[in-house]
Amino acid sequence: MKVSVDRALCYGSAECAHRAPAVFAFEDGYGVVRPGRAESGDDPEVREAAEKCPSQAIVLGGAAE
């Protein structure tokens, strides 16, 4: 399952980078998915980060390509 961060919703809490540092990074004041990690939506840490994101900016869905 794919994971992405909706930059329009993200306000830079860095919760994602704290909860799943192998998948998310904090760059230019926003959370981002690390290169090559977009297929990590099934990872339990990623799912927790999505649930706990205060701005609900983490998007899970779709099949990994």
What pLDDT, on the 0 to 100 scale, is given for residue 2? 97
What pLDDT, on the 0 to 100 scale, is given for residue 65? 43
What pLDDT, on the 0 to 100 scale, is given for residue 43? 96
* Whether 57 contacts 10, CB under 8 Å: yes
Cα first-last separation, the chain: 9
Grouping H, G, I as helix, E, B as strand and the rest as coil, residue 41 is: coil
Ramachandran region, residue 13 (left: φ > 0; alpha: ψ -120 to 50; beta: rest): alpha
Residue 49 has pLDDT above 90, yes or no: yes
Distance CA 29, CA 61 (A): 24
Sequence length of the chain is 65
What pLDDT, on the 0 to 100 scale, is given for residue 18? 96
What pLDDT, on the 0 to 100 scale, is given for residue 62? 67
Residue 64 has pLDDT above 70, yes or no: no
